[in-house]
Amino acid sequence: MQKFLLFAFALLAFSACNDNDSDEIRFAAENTAIVDGSLTGINLHFLGTSVATAPDGTAYTDSSARFEFAGGSEKLTLYMHGTRFAAAMPAFNMRLFNVPYTPGEGAALSFLLPTVVPDVYLPNAVGGGFSYQPLPAYTLTNVEGSIDGIDCRVAFSCNVPKLGAYRVEYQGKLLAR
């Protein structure tokens, strides 16, 4: 029994000293999920910086903004995880569903929308739980985005109720799978 406890203690001490890379953020060296300008069905996760500029010119910067792209050969869905335009604003998950895009060369694509009503992940009024629901009060305008290899850029304006039009600009790098 004493040998077993000594062995268990040694194992515990060894595991505590072991470098665990699982929490380390790693960026991709290349983008293999876009082929000839088309998404292949593999979700792309980007980590970057989102800057929201208020109508008065003040800016809120989120240096750990996460955007995700999913889709196929003609349309994509953009998920904006934990989106907020100001420090005091609660973070919410927003998505743009079935966005048509233009294939670029290699691992590149772009999209442009004059206006779109985003879906927001909210509690269901009926039946409990959560689901994506349209949020017309936060309609986005002048939405433009692109993926070029491992780089992603998205920009849009959002007229926030009672606060005015915010301009949001995001730049991110592709996370390794």
For the chain, the domains span 26-174
The enclosing H or E element of 36 equals none
Q: What CATH fold (topology level) applies to the domain 26-174?
A: Porin (2.40.160)
Report which of residues 13 and 43 the model is more confident about: 43
Backbone angles phi, psi at 128, to 5 degrees: 70, -170
Backbone angles phi, psi at 138, to 5 degrees: -110, 35
CA distances from 122 to 18, 119, 125, 177 (A): 40, 9, 9, 28
Is the pLDDT score of 14 beyond 90? no
Least confident of 10-19, 128-137, 150-159: 10-19
Is the pLDDT score of 4 beyond 70? no
Q: Give the SS3 label for residue 14.
A: helix
| Residue burial 60-81, b: 16+ Cβ < 10 Å; e: rest | bebeebbbbbbbeeeebbbbbb
Segment 154-175 shows an average pLDDT of 93
Q: Give the SS3 label for residue 60.
A: strand
pLDDT in tens, 87-141: 888 888 999 999 999 999 999 999 999 999 999 998 776 777 889 999 999 999 9
Is the pLDDT score of 15 beyond 80? no
Cα–Cα distance measured from residue 48 to residue 150, given in angstroms and rounded to the nearest whole number: 11
Q: Residue 7's pLDDT is what?
A: 34
